[in-house]
Amino acid sequence: MNASAARKTAVVTGAGSGIGRSVALTLAAAGWSVAVAGRRPEPLEETAALAGPDADVLPLPTDVTSPDEVAALFEAVRERYGRLDLLFNNAGTFGPGGVAVEDLAYEAWRHVVDTNLNGAFLCAQAAFRQMKEQDPQGGRIINNGSISAHVPRPNSVAYTATKHAMTGLTKALSLDGRPYRIAVGQIDIGNAATEMTARMRTGVPQANGELAVEPVMDAADVARTVLHMAELPLEANVQFATVMATTMPYIGRG
């Protein structure tokens, strides 16, 4: 068996930046073959380049809100690698920040729901089909939840609703995957330092109406946790994990 055939295979969505890129690079460094998906090809190519010439990283531009593009993504993985061991369901968007419920445009609401929830469902559905059909059967899905799957930030109704829904999706998939050796878990992340959380370091609204700078953590700490979850035998599952900046305002009253 050659080196590439011995690798496990993962799909990472939202892999052109931030947490998705960090997870893709960590998996590749650990010897995984990684199909990286995202809307724009250039950032995916950058992720592949950062992994280095010895890594097996396959850029596959994909809009996760499109059923046809999601189907094409997983078919490309099947053709290239023959099987799928892991889906890291990571693609997501905050949507417009600081918009009150009564002022949020329906189009903005729909965009967040389509990306964060419908996209996660479409990718999980495609992964389920492949993991159920392949031999040996089974695999693992890790959904990117959020601290917002537990508690909201002010004026974040769309993002918070989708992340609460992600928890329900994780539980349902975990139950339905049991007969097929498909393990499904969720990682809830708080204040990883990425492009999307840059505003944490300049001040974000708090529940009491004040602005406050919040601590952040290295996205590599998230990636190491995902790798640990991914490399467990399918007989073991981290159902829910929370990885957060230690002193961020979440536990207690701030």
DSSP string for residues in 104-117:
--HHHHHHHHIIII
Q: Kindly report, residue by residue over 143-189, the tens digit of the pLDDT.
A: 999 999 999 999 999 999 999 999 999 999 999 999 999 999 999 99
Model pLDDT, residue 254: 63
Instruction: Give me the count of residues in the chain.
Output: 254
Residue 103 has pLDDT above 60, yes or no: yes
Omega before 205 within 30 of 0, i.e. cis: no
Element (H, E) at 125: helix 119-133
Q: Kindly report, residue by residue over 197-227, the tens digit of the pLDDT.
A: 788 888 998 988 899 999 999 999 999 999 9
Model pLDDT, residue 2: 40
Model pLDDT, residue 200: 83
Which residues, 6 or more positions from 237, have their beta carbon under 8 angstroms from its beta carbon? 140, 174, 183, 184, 185
What are the tokens at 74? 């997983």
Model pLDDT, residue 107: 97
Q: Kindly report, residue by residue over 51-102, the tens digit of the pLDDT.
A: 999 999 999 999 999 999 999 999 999 999 999 999 999 999 999 988 999 9
CA angle 12, 13, 16 (to 5 degrees): 95
pTM of this structure: 0.94
Segments of the chain assigned E as strands: 9-13, 33-38, 56-61, 86-89, 139-144, 182-190, 192-193, 204-205, 211-212, 217-218, 240-244
The residue among 134 and 5 whose pLDDT is bigger is: 134
Domains and CATH numbers, the chain: 3-244 (3.40.50.720)
Model pLDDT, residue 129: 98
The residue among 2 and 246 whose pLDDT is bigger is: 246
Distance, in Å, from the CA atom of 132 to the CA atom of 251, rounded to the nearest integer, reads: 39
Q: Kindly report, residue by residue over 2-45, the tens digit of the pLDDT.
A: 444 578 999 999 999 999 999 999 999 999 999 999 999 999 99
Q: What share of the chain is helix, strand, coil (3-state, %, to 5)?
A: 45, 20, 35
Cite the active site residues: 159
Residue 47 has pLDDT above 80, yes or no: yes
User: Which parts of 134-186 fold into alpha helices (H)?
Assistant: 157-177
Model pLDDT, residue 196: 74
Quick one: which of 149, 146, 129, 148 has its CA closest to 138? 129
Q: What are phi and psi of 239, to 5 degrees?
A: -70, -50
Quick one: which of 120, 125, 182, 111 has its CA closest to 149? 120
Q: Which residue bears the tokens 């959380």? A: 197
Residue 114 has pLDDT above 70, yes or no: yes
Q: What are phi and psi of 94, to 5 degrees?
A: -75, -30
